[in-house]
Amino acid sequence: MDSYKQVKKKLEAFIRKFYLNKLLKGVILFCATGLIYLLVNLLVEHFLWLNSTWRTFLFWLLVGVGGVLFIFFILIPLAKLFKLTNGITAEEAAKIIGIHFPEVNDSLLNILQLKNDPQQSELLLAGIAQKSAKLKAVPFTAAVTYKTNTKYLKYLLFPVILILGFLITGNITLITSPLDRLAKHDVRFEAPAPFRFLILNDSLSARENTDYKILIASEGTITPERPEIHYNNQRYFLKKIAPGKFEYTFSKLKTDVDFMLIGNGVSSRNYRLNVIKVPKLLNFMMKFNYPKYLGKINDSLSGTGSVRVPEGTKIMWDFNTINTDILNFSTEDSLHKLKVEDKNLQFSKTVYKNIAYRLSTTNKNIKDFEALDYNIRVIKDELPEMEVKQKLDSIDEVTQYFYGKISDDHGLSRLNLVYYPENEIDSVKSERISISKGNFEQFHYTFPGNLELRPGVNYTFYFKVWDNDAVNGVKAVESRSFNFRRKTIEEIEEEKLNQQGESIKDLNKSLENIKASEEELDELNRLQKEQKNLDYNQRKKLNNFIQRQQEQSKMMRNYADKLKRTLEDESENNTKDAAQKEELKNRLERNEERLKENEALLEELKKVADKINREELGNKLEELSKKNQNEERNLEQLLELTKAYYVEEKLQKLARDLKRLSEKQEQVSEEETRNSLENQKKIAEEFKDFQEQMEELGEDNKALKQPKELERDKISEERIEKDLRDAEKDLQNKKPEGAKEKQQNAAQEMKEMSRKMQQKAAQQSTRQLKANIESLRQILDNLVTFSFEQEDLLEDFNEMEVNNALYASKLRRQNILKENFKHVDDSLYSLALSNSMISEEITKKLTDIEFDLEKSLERLAQNKVSRGTSSQQYVVTGANDLAYLLSKILSSMQRQANPQMGKGQGENADFQLQDIIKKQQELNKEFEKNAKDQQNESGRTKGESMTDGEMGELFEIYKQQQELRQKLQELNKNKRDAKGDQLAEEMRRTEEELLDKGFDPKNQERLQKLAHDLMEYDEAQIEQGKNEKRESQTNKRDFKNTTKDQSIKAKEYFNSLEILNRQSLPLREIYKQKVKSYFERKDN
């Protein structure tokens, strides 16, 4: 049985090899037929360029045929090999083996049949075993040989050689191209044509909302004529840019675009242009939160990212994006990656310095798209700026006026004046100066103003201004330093006396010039009268004279103004002669007014001279001559009174200096530390200086036309000199006790000498006053006598004809009265030189009377009786007015000499403004009545044709009007009311018009207006609480806001205007800079 099993195994091995051989054959045939069939299909596709439908059919046919061949040649043998299906049986295999091996023949088949016999016997089994043993050595597998398949390789060799041939020759594309098209059977491929389209762009991708230009080239034997591009169901022609090259531009791409190219019936494959979504910053807004101290309203800005903001501003950005994942906010030293959620985001930053920043957007496709560069310029809170100008007071040359311009970019906080004594930096003091809180301010300051500074000490001061910087803390700047030294009382007194001396010399020169010009004026007046017309040289001479007079007038005003300034500040100098000083100041003011009137007259004279109006020129020359005479007298009196005042003041000063020197000597003698030879020598030198000044005072006194009695106490001076010398010797010899005694003696002598000087001055003033009273009484008596005689002579001429035999004698009598009045004039003029109560008004009256006396003589001599008597009437009126004025002055002088005289019984003690109004109304009625009476008598309208009775009535009205004016002036004396002074001046003009035009209707209107103005003035007084009936008598002194006055004066010095609206305006920075530049202009 073992033999049978071995045969069985060998038979199974044969079957396996049999099917392996079948499989090898199938593989060769499958490859050969498959390749041949593939090449046939490729050949069809290569030549036919089937469309996708046929290619799909051919593809699936190839797949089907290949599948059938694979099943037949490979799968079936494999299935039989692995017995998955029924293959050849053992009997069929035995037959094959028997055929191959003749020695086997049917033996193997018989063994299998015997084995399959159902009746198995031992004999049968022995036969099977015997036969099996015979076949045991036969190799069944040798019946199948693989070499038999080599004959099929020729079928495979053909396609392989063909493929290798294509590969070697470089025509492999003849296989690969159809194969690729066949593999992509559903894709449309270009049919083979004489040309093809080539896309020259590196990639078909573009960014959203951009234009994309596609570049196309044709490759082949021909060039398409009008190629097109087909997309979105539309066709568009390509633009030819060169032979065989075209282009087309897609505009504002939004989504992906599928397109193909068509030309000459040839179509390209489908292309896709990919559109990439772009991260965009659509817009953003900047919100500004400014520092609170700026007072600036928070605002916002859009459209730009570059701004100028104040330091410390918090900026918030509101960004609006699209297709953005991250917004990059980068600066020079930092990068902020801001994650975008829902398209919007915010970012804030407080800026203190300039920042350059960049904004860019990023998404998964694009990084840092469209980087935008912006700048934030930080406006630093700058230091405040200050410009201070200084001017010295041209009057006292000590007071300093300051005009300052201060500014800050964001606002000022405060301004201080800082001052301290030199070398005492620890004693710093400051004063707050009021300013606004705006950006720009100007200030005026007068130093020292009301500051309490020690006399004789040098001070340093400056201005300091602070800004309102709340970010860095307030900052301050200082002006340059200034110096100041307040003079001591002694220095002020000495300086004022020196200035007065210089002013007196200048006025003396002016007086000499006036006297010199009188002759020239007389010559011009004579030429004008003698010649009908002035020739060119004479007119030029007149113009030169007028010009010199104008210059002289301006110089006199300047000199008088300087002198008046030296008389200011009575309280500071403790002057006892306050009334005299006040009178001199008033005289100087009135003198200035007269000089202005003279200048106006000179201007009129200049105009008349140019027009060659002989009559008017003569009148103006006469008027100028009259004014010059009056001015000469007034100036001479003013000069003499000023010299006398100067002598008295200097005497008083020397007395005070001597007293201070005595006190200094006492201090030196009592303090051992100060009792030195050096200090004693200084005292001796000061006393010697006192003696020299006394000598100078004596010379000044001699220069007076009526010198004062200034007898020096030579004996006391010699004793003082001796004690001072002895004290020096004792100190030099180290004998302080002996020196102390001499020093005390000298101090006592000085004190006593000072007291005597002051006492003698007071006694002399009293004696002088009594002498003046006596002189004035005598003058007044002579004046009254003259007035009566002149009035009698006037009546004689009124009753006399020209051919009367007594006419010549009366004319001589008029000449004698003229000479008599000259004595009155000289006496009164002499008195005026020593008595300031003889005012300019009296001088004017004297000049007017002399003028009218000359005119009366001249007209009467020319037999012009009516005009001559008119001049005589003016003389009588003037003499009466003068007598009235002198009587008032006499009464005043008598009260001054005897203070108890008339106390409690003054007739004007209770005379009030209402009384003046009442009297004025009564006077107006009286004038109206007389005017009507005169108008009823025809032919008499002016003073020349008045009767004596009418002249007397007019004169009475004139005197009453004059009394009312004087009473009004007395009421206003302490009030210093400008309106009251104006009314008094109007009354004075009315008085002049009364004498000039008599009972004229215009005078009546003037009187009525005057009464109306007085009532209005009274109502204003009541409203302002200034009515005399309600006025408190407790304190008559008016409070003066010196600080405000000083500010106004400083403004006047710098001729500057205050900025009315100084609040900070909500301007943009560029306009703030322009405003600042405007205020910093040099010409502003």
| Secondary structure (DSSP) of 215-258 | EEEEEESS--SS-EEEETTEEEEPEEEETTEEEEEE-S--S-EE
Tokens of 234: 């539309």
Regarding predicted confidence, which is higher, 599 or 328? 328
Domain boundaries, the chain: 2-169, 190-276, 280-379, 385-477+1053-1079, 770-901+910-1023
The percentage of residues in the chain with a pLDDT greater than 70, rounded to a whole number, is 71
* pLDDT of residue 613 exceeding 60: no
Specify the 3-state DSSP secondary structure of 891: helix
> What is the reported pLDDT for 1029?
41
Residue 870 CB coordination number (10 Å):
22
> What is the reported pLDDT for 534?
57
Do the Cβ atoms of 951 and 873 come closer than 8 Å? yes
- CA angle, corner 519, sides to 518 and 524, nearest 5? 95
* pLDDT of residue 280 exceeding 60: yes
Cα–Cα distance for residue pair 821/810, rounded to 1 Å = 16
Q: At what angle do helices 677-702 and 736-798 cross, to 10 degrees?
A: 10
Do the Cβ atoms of 42 and 168 come closer than 8 Å? no
Q: Which residue from 640, 591, 644 is spatially nearest to 833, judged by alpha carbons?
A: 640
Mean pLDDT of the chain: 77
Confidence band for 638, pLDDT divided at 50, 70 and 90:
low
Average the pLDDT over 1019-1028 and give the result.
60
* pLDDT of residue 1068 exceeding 60: no
Cα–Cα distance for residue pair 409/472, rounded to 1 Å = 14
As a whole number of Å, the end-to-end CA separation of the chain is: 144
User: Which of 276-290, 309-323, 575-589, 738-752 is predicted least confidently?
Assistant: 575-589
Q: Which residue from 412, 410, 474, 476 is spatially nearest to 443, judged by alpha carbons?
A: 412
SS3 content of the chain, % helix, strand, coil (to 5): 60, 15, 25
Regarding predicted confidence, which is higher, 1012 or 637? 1012
Confidence band for 907, pLDDT divided at 50, 70 and 90:
very low
Per-residue pLDDT of 808-819, as tens digits, reads 888 888 888 888
Regarding predicted confidence, which is higher, 429 or 520? 429
Confidence band for 155, pLDDT divided at 50, 70 and 90:
confident
Do the Cβ atoms of 343 and 322 come closer than 8 Å? yes
* pLDDT of residue 533 exceeding 80: no
CA 720 to chain centre: 67
* pLDDT of residue 875 exceeding 80: yes
* pLDDT of residue 1035 exceeding 50: no
* pLDDT of residue 635 exceeding 80: no
Specify the 3-state DSSP secondary structure of 491: helix
The percentage of residues in the chain with a pLDDT greater than 90, rounded to a whole number, is 9
Largest interatomic CA distance in the chain: 236
Topology classification of domain 190-276:
Immunoglobulin-like (2.60.40)
> What is the reported pLDDT for 479?
92
How many CA within 13 A on the CB side of residue 236?
A: 13
CATH architecture of 385-477+1053-1079: Sandwich (2.60)
* pLDDT of residue 949 exceeding 50: yes
**Backbone dihedral region for residue 727 (phi beyond 0: left; psi -120 to 50: alpha; all else: beta):** alpha
* pLDDT of residue 374 exceeding 70: yes
Confidence band for 866, pLDDT divided at 50, 70 and 90:
confident
Per-residue pLDDT of 775-803, as tens digits, reads 888 888 888 888 888 888 888 888 888 78
Tokens of 656: 């005070």
Q: Which residue from 523, 521, 547 is spatially nearest to 628, judged by alpha carbons?
A: 521
> What is the reported pLDDT for 214?
93
Cα–Cα distance for residue pair 46/826, rounded to 1 Å = 157
Q: Which residue from 861, 863, 862, 856 is spatially nearest to 802, judged by alpha carbons?
A: 863
Tokens of 531: 């010649």
Contact partners, residue 769, CB within 8 Å, separation at least 6: 893, 896, 897
> What is the reported pLDDT for 330?
92
Give the length of the chain.
1084
Contact partners, residue 337, CB within 8 Å, separation at least 6: 326, 327, 328
Confidence band for 895, pLDDT divided at 50, 70 and 90:
confident
Cα–Cα distance for residue pair 869/856, rounded to 1 Å = 7
Cα–Cα distance for residue pair 879/894, rounded to 1 Å = 22
Residue 989 CB coordination number (10 Å):
11
* pLDDT of residue 287 exceeding 90: yes
* pLDDT of residue 536 exceeding 70: no
Q: What is the CA radius of gyration of the chain?
A: 69
* pLDDT of residue 1031 exceeding 50: no
> What is the reported pLDDT for 258?
93
Q: At what angle do helices 865-897 and 840-861 cross, to 10 degrees?
A: 160
Q: Which residue from 635, 1074, 647, 545 is spatially nearest to 832, judged by alpha carbons?
A: 635
> What is the reported pLDDT for 1063?
44
Regarding predicted confidence, which is higher, 1063 or 763? 763
Please state the three-class secondary structure of 606-658 as a single string.
Answer: HHHHHHCCHHHHHHHHHHHHHHHHHHHHHHHHHHHHHHHHHHHHHHHHHHHHH
Average the pLDDT over 576-595 and give the result.
62
Cα–Cα distance for residue pair 517/602, rounded to 1 Å = 14
Please give the sequence-ordered ranges of beta strands (E in DSSP) within 814-972, or none if there are none.
Answer: none
Q: Supply the DSSP string of 717-743, one letter for each residue.
A: HHHHHHHHHHHHHHHHTT-HHHHHHHH
**190-276 matches 385-477+1053-1079 in fold:** yes
Average the pLDDT over 130-136 and give the result.
61
Most confident of 116-125, 927-936, 1057-1066: 927-936
Which residue type sits at 926? Answer: E
* pLDDT of residue 1061 exceeding 60: no
* pLDDT of residue 316 exceeding 90: yes
Cα–Cα distance for residue pair 779/832, rounded to 1 Å = 12
* pLDDT of residue 909 exceeding 50: no
Q: Which of 888-905 are b and which e, b meaning 16 or more Cβ less than 10 Å from the residue's Cβ?
A: ebbeebbeeeeeeeeeee
> What is the reported pLDDT for 822?
85
CATH code matching the domain that covers 280-379, chosen among 3.40.50.1970, 3.20.20.80, 2.40.50.100, 2.60.40.10: 2.60.40.10
Strand pairing partners for 361? 327, 369
Average the pLDDT over 966-979 and give the result.
74
Cα–Cα distance for residue pair 550/558, rounded to 1 Å = 12
Average the pLDDT over 107-135 and give the result.
61
* pLDDT of residue 404 exceeding 70: yes
Most confident of 466-480, 575-589, 822-836: 466-480
Cα–Cα distance for residue pair 324/364, rounded to 1 Å = 9
Confidence band for 250, pLDDT divided at 50, 70 and 90:
very high
Average the pLDDT over 603-631 and give the result.
59
Cα–Cα distance for residue pair 837/246, rounded to 1 Å = 122
Q: Which residue from 885, 860, 839, 843 is spatially nearest to 790, judged by alpha carbons?
A: 860
Per-residue pLDDT of 40-75, as tens digits, reads 888 887 777 777 788 888 888 888 888 888 888 888
Per-residue pLDDT of 677-694, as tens digits, reads 888 888 888 888 888 888
Cα–Cα distance for residue pair 845/832, rounded to 1 Å = 13
Most confident of 341-355, 629-643, 757-771: 341-355
Average the pLDDT over 189-218 and give the result.
84
User: Which of 135-149, 207-221, 257-271, 540-554 is predicted least confidently?
Assistant: 540-554
